[in-house]
């Protein structure tokens, strides 16, 4: 039975990955900053079967090393750390530490304690310069946020681990991916929840920032399958993971409110205070490499994703 270690296992991606791996016969060990909170999550059932360990890598290098020496994982998936781009502007230094330091510590500890580790690191499309076209692995790298800059620096550590240490280490350059488990501060969850609450008469309106920005939104459950596939290639390489289709925030509103029989334009208003300091007008993936090398394609399309998210919110509100 193979063993996998997932950092940030209680998050959206970590919980879907844990379910996926357990379904494939893995023993899964997962770290979380707050064990009690993890067990109280609405989707805590997804962590059934996971051997949970409380702690964070950046708080103590010995924490990670002890886990690796004791559990001897065959695969390590580093999904923990900050995930909200806009929050990085409030504390750029802390964002950098929380993203870059764990990546460096994982690489160092894995190289010293594991015989032949396979390491996956969750990267981000925010490493790329804003462009009005689809972006693949060759897209220019010029981040416009502290979050993106930190992700790019962490990705460089991973590249060096491959080239200088000979480790099987890869970064998945993940475009936006959502689910009913997405945090409430994210715009997709905010829209889905707002549509459900307005339909139930528990909310009168929904305030959002820019409505014309376009994002490549996919389903997190599809993306964790790509993460796993990336660890079983002949040669390790970084890959863009996305759907290849972009929709605007207004499109998301339209789909969400249509699901509850409402016209979003009658309920959504723009609040200038919610506009991010720098927001790329388009983030669109060209996932050709993932499709060719991994045979990976997303199974949940945009409309199904929105229906899934709104449906869960309606269930919670009932």
Do 207 and 123 belong together in one domain?
A: no
- Alpha-helical (H) ranges within the chain are 12-23, 35-39, 61-71, 92-113, 146-165, 187-199, 220-230, 249-259, 288-294, 302-317
More confident residue, 61 or 250: 250
pLDDT over 70 at 88, yes or no:
no
More confident residue, 210 or 58: 210
Do 106 and 164 belong together in one domain?
A: yes
User: 108 catalytic, yes or no?
Assistant: no
Asked whether residue 155 is assigned to any structural domain, the reply reads: yes
Question: Ranked by mean pLDDT, which of 55-69, 82-96, 179-193 comes out on top?
Answer: 179-193
In the set 56, 83, 124, 149, the catalytic residue is: 124
pLDDT tier, 83 (very low <50, low <70, confident <90, very high otherwise) = low
Do 153 and 200 belong together in one domain?
A: no
* Domains identified in the chain, total number: 2
Q: What is the CATH number of the domain that holds 277?
A: 3.90.25.10
pLDDT tier, 317 (very low <50, low <70, confident <90, very high otherwise) = confident
pLDDT over 80 at 293, yes or no:
yes
Do 20 and 136 belong together in one domain?
A: yes
More confident residue, 287 or 60: 287
- What DSSP designation does 285 have? B
Asked whether residue 201 is assigned to any structural domain, the reply reads: yes
More confident residue, 86 or 12: 12
Q: What is the CATH number of the domain that holds 230?
A: 3.40.50.720
In the set 19, 126, 178, 312, the catalytic residue is: 126
**Are 260 and 198 a contacting pair, CB within 8 Å?**
yes
Do 140 and 196 belong together in one domain?
A: no
Asked whether residue 111 is assigned to any structural domain, the reply reads: yes
Do 201 and 98 belong together in one domain?
A: no
**Are 211 and 248 a contacting pair, CB within 8 Å?**
yes
Asked whether residue 294 is assigned to any structural domain, the reply reads: no
Asked whether residue 292 is assigned to any structural domain, the reply reads: no
What pLDDT is attached to residue 196? 97
User: 179 catalytic, yes or no?
Assistant: no
Asked whether residue 195 is assigned to any structural domain, the reply reads: yes
**To which H or E segment does residue 95 belong?**
helix 92-113
For residues 63-89, give the mean pLDDT. Answer: 86
pLDDT tier, 135 (very low <50, low <70, confident <90, very high otherwise) = very high
Do 9 and 151 belong together in one domain?
A: yes
Asked whether residue 256 is assigned to any structural domain, the reply reads: yes
Do 123 and 150 belong together in one domain?
A: yes
pLDDT over 80 at 100, yes or no:
yes
Do 187 and 144 belong together in one domain?
A: no
First-to-last CA distance in the chain? 41
In the set 16, 26, 77, 147, the catalytic residue is: 147
Do 110 and 255 belong together in one domain?
A: no
Asked whether residue 287 is assigned to any structural domain, the reply reads: no
Do 222 and 201 belong together in one domain?
A: no
pLDDT over 80 at 90, yes or no:
no
The domain containing residue 194 runs over which residues? 183-216+246-282+300-317
* Rounded CA Rg of the chain: 19
Least confident range of 69-83, 117-131, 166-180, 192-206:
69-83
Least confident range of 217-226, 268-277, 285-294, 296-305:
268-277
**Are 203 and 210 a contacting pair, CB within 8 Å?**
no
Do 115 and 150 belong together in one domain?
A: yes
User: 147 catalytic, yes or no?
Assistant: yes
């Amino acid at each position: 039975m193979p063993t996998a270690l997932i950092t940030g296992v209680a998050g959206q991606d970590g919980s879907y990955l844990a379910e996926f791996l357990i379904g494939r016969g893995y023993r899964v060990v997962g770290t979380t900053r707050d064990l009690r909170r993890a067990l109280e999550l609405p989707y805590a059932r997804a962590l059934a079967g996971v051997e949970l360990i409380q702690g964070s890598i950046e708080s103590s290098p010995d924490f990670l090393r002890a886990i690796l020496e004791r559990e001897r994982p065959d695969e390590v998936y580093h999904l923990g750390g900050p995930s909200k781009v806009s929050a990085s502007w409030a504390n750029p230094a802390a964002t950098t530490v929380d993203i870059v330091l764990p990546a460096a510590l994982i690489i160092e500890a894995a190289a010293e304690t594991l015989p032949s580790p396979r390491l996956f690191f969750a990267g981000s499309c925010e490493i790329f310069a804003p462009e009005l076209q689809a972006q693949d692995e060759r897209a220019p790298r010029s981040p416009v946020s502290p979050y993106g800059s930190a992700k790019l620096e962490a990705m460089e550590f991973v590249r060096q681990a491959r080239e200088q240490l000979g480790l099987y280490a890869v970064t998945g350059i993940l475009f936006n991916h959502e689910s009913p488990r997405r945090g409430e501060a994210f715009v997709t969850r905010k829209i889905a929840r707002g549509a459900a609450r307005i339909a139930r008469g528990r909310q009168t309106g929904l305030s959002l920032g820019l409505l014309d920005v376009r994002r490549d939104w996919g389903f997190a459950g599809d993306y964790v399958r790509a993460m796993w596939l990336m660890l079983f290639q002949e040669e390790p390489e970084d890959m863009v993971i996305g759907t290849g289709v972009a929709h605007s925030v207004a499109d998301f509103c339209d789909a969400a409110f249509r699901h509850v029989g409402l016209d979003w334009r009658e309920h959504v208003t723009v609040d200038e205070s919610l506009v991010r300091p720098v927001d790329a007008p388009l983030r669109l993936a060209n996932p050709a490499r993932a499709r060719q090398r991994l045979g990976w394609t997303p199974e949940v399309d945009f409309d199904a994703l929105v229906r899934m998210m709104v449906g869960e919110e309606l269930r919670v509100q009932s």
